[in-house]
């Protein structure tokens, strides 16, 4: 066996420091490094998954924004347990994050909403996200109505358009290695306690 395969190359320590390193590497290598799969479930266990964009991260959690009336928004409000999965193909790396989700405060949601392009703000106002739509023309018409309504003035954030912060209880780093002898390092903690970590079989 290649001697290099015997050695762990994912360091232990602080998972947030390791996330920062991998996230920076991904931004240097991938066009959509902040795209992440978000998995949610209803209270009775029906799962669903979709891609969202990471808009903030740090020791307090991982932040994304959405319409709370959408399927994912409704599921998060009813069952605030969720998972995130980053997959960076060019780096052959994955990060899985599991935890509890909390809605961000109104000021934080306002700040991010008004940092978006104006057309994105108008689209958020016009969209009944995840509801059935009879035609593309109906949606574009609603966007144009919103544009006419607000003119050059500020577009107010709809109260149901908000952000969520996933506070992690587990973070796993996965690295592709030859012959499927992959490496997985798993971090876990209870509440605000210290992180423990271990390797997992691939």
DSSP label of 182: -
Active site (annotated) includes residue 180: yes
Q: Classify 144 as helix, strand or coil.
A: helix
Catalytic residue among 6, 180, 184, 185: 180
Cβ(96)–Cβ(172) below 8 Å: yes
Per the DSSP assignment, residues forming a β-bridge with 34 are none
Cβ(35)–Cβ(51) below 8 Å: yes
* List of residues 6+ apart from 96 with CB closer than 8 A: 83, 84, 85, 170, 171, 172, 174
Cβ(183)–Cβ(4) below 8 Å: no
- For the chain, percent helix, then strand, then coil, each to nearest 5? 35, 35, 35
List, by residue number, the catalytic residues.
Answer: 180
């Amino acid at each position: 066996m290649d001697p290099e395969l015997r050695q762990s190359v994912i360091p232990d320590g602080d998972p947030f420091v390791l996330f920062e390193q991998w996230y920076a590497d991904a931004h240097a290598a991938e066009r959509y490094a902040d795209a992440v799969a978000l998995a949610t479930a209803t209270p009775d266990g029906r799962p669903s998954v979709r891609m969202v964009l990471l808009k903030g991260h740090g020791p307090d959690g991982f932040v994304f924004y959405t319409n709370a009336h959408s399927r994912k928004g409704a599921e998060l409000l009813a069952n605030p347990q969720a998972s995130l999965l980053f997959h960076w193909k060019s780096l052959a790396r994955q990060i899985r994050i599991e935890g509890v989700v909390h809605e961000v405060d109104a000021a934080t949601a306002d700040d991010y909403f008004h940092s978006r392009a104006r057309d994105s703000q108008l689209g958020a106002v016009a969209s009944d996200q995840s509801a059935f739509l009879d035609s593309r023309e109906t949606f574009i018409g609603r966007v144009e109505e919103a544009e006419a309504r607000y003119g050059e003035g500020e577009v107010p954030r709809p109260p149901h358009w908000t952000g969520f912060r996933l506070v992690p209880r587990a973070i796993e780093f996965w690295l592709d290695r030859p012959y499927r002898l992959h490496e997985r390092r798993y971090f876990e903690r209870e509440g605000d306690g210290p992180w423990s970590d271990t390797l997992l079989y691939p």
